[in-house]
Structure 1
Amino acid sequence: MASGASDCHFHGNAVATQATVSTCAAKYQKDLIASGKIAKSWAAVKEPASFEQIDGEKGKEWKVTFKDPAAADKSKESLYMFFTAQGNFIAANHTGK
């Protein structure tokens, strides 16, 4: 049985909508906080600042940017998440690359 939007794991070639990617980005943000990979202060940032489709190593990807202007470490003021065009999580970092 194929997975669907509720668990943010997708099959097929249909490009995910921005709304779907936004929902999945919020889910992964919570997961990253819970696992200690990003600071707990990111929980206060509820909405992505921007979405864009970029050319990734394996084709089109979604790049979702969260901004935390209150971040103590200004090099970690932005959190970037990358998703396949279909909406599957690839990675997250503070560099955007």
Structure 2
Amino acid sequence: MRNISTALLASYLLFVSPVMAGAGHDHGSGGHSHGPISSEMVIKKAAERVKSMVESGKLDKSWADRKALGVIQETFSSEIEWVVTFKNDQVSDATKQTLYMFFTLDGSYIATNFTGK
């Protein structure tokens, strides 16, 4: 029985080619882009994240309609990141009026805080 199983496995491995992405593998314009995204795209992602955080109760509802104040690329520990800033004067605590969102250059979310660090 063991010899039959071994023979079947060996035959299977010889006749079935593994499925792997080759040199011509492409997802087109909507695929897995791992290159840098534009400042406009990171602002859009940040706005969506703010909306999600408001809906989940992590941010006050007064943040819901805030537009991005600015976006810059900044270096942290030798890594360049997108930093998107939002301002909300309706917040009484002055230290919580500016929200900073951090993204990798390819648009992956990193963190949100009120310090910018």
TM-score using structure 1 length: 0.82
The aligned amino acid for 1:40 is: K
Partner in structure 1 of residue 74 of structure 2: 54
Q: Which runs of 5+ in 2 are unaligned?
A: 1-26
| Cα pair distance change 1:59/1:11, threshold 3 Å | farther
Inter-partner Cα distance in structure 1 for 2:110 and 2:54 = 17
Q: Tell me, yes or no, if structure 1 residue 39 matches structure 2 residue 60.
A: yes
Q: Deviations over 1:31-83 (max 9, x none)?
A: 111111111110131x1101110112361100000001221111110010000
Inter-partner Cα distance in structure 2 for 1:63 and 1:88 = 12
Partner in structure 1 of residue 97 of structure 2: 77
Q: Which runs of 5+ in 1 are unaligned?
A: none
Which structure shows the bigger proportion of residues in helix conformation?
2
Residue 11 (structure 1) shift: 4.8
Q: Which has the larger radius of gyration?
A: 2
Inter-partner Cα distance in structure 1 for 2:75 and 2:51 = 26
Partner in structure 1 of residue 110 of structure 2: 90
> Percent of counterpart pairs with the same letter?
37
The aligned amino acid for 2:107 is: G
Q: Tell me, yes or no, if structure 1 residue 20 matches structure 2 residue 44.
A: no
* Number of residue pairs aligned between Structure 1 and Structure 2: 90
- More RCO (CA 8 Å, sep 6+): 1
SS of the equivalent of 1:49 reads strand
Runs of 4+ in 1 over 4 A off after TM superposition: none
